[in-house]
Amino acid sequence: MDYGKFRYLQKKKVQESKKHSTQVLVKEVKLGSRTSDHDIDFKAVHVRRFLEKKQRVKVSVLFRGREITHPELGKDMLGKFFEKVQDVGELEGQARLEGRNMSILIVPR
């Protein structure tokens, strides 16, 4: 067998394996620690749409400046947000504080 045919078959195998693999998408929605209720409702509509399409959603609360000294505000914000979408999604794990971001992961039911 010549080398050109060998390389062609190898490339075909790689392309075939890419067809069968699936990529898990994670959408992200960012909030501030002092975001108003209307803005939370507006973003909850988008999260509902993502969850209905069977996509995972990461909801992050960003802390600016000295807001990081009150992580309970972020936890309350994430709790309020999850209550609005809990009929279409489930919480995966607890709220995690990563640097200046606190986030939760919501997966579709």
CATH (domain of 99): 3.30.110.10
Amino acid at 70: H
Q: Which two tokens stand for residue 13?
A: 């195998």
pLDDT at 22: 72
The verdict on residue 101 lying in a domain is: yes
What's 36's DSSP letter?
A: -
pLDDT at 20: 78
pLDDT at 84: 93
Q: Domains in the chain: how many in total?
A: 1
The verdict on residue 72 lying in a domain is: yes
pTM beyond 0.75, yes or no:
yes
The verdict on residue 6 lying in a domain is: no
The verdict on residue 42 lying in a domain is: yes
Give the model's confidence band at 23: pLDDT under 50 very low, under 70 low, under 90 confident, else very high: confident
The verdict on residue 4 lying in a domain is: no
Domain carrying residue 84 = 22-108
Question: If we measure between CA atoms, which residue out of 26, 31, 3, 34 comes closest to residue 89?
Answer: 26
C-beta atoms surrounding 42 within 10 Å: 11
Tell me phi and psi for residue 53, to 5 degrees.
-90, 10
pLDDT in tens, 27-81: 999 999 889 999 999 999 999 999 999 999 999 999 999 999 999 999 999 999 9
Mean pLDDT of 85-91: 94
Going edge to edge, which strands form the sheet with 101-108? Answer: 26-32, 56-62, 101-108, 89-98
pLDDT at 71: 93
Measured between alpha carbons, how far is 89 from 41 in angstroms, rounded to an integer?
A: 16
The yes-or-no verdict on residue 13 having pLDDT over 80 is: yes
The verdict on residue 8 lying in a domain is: no
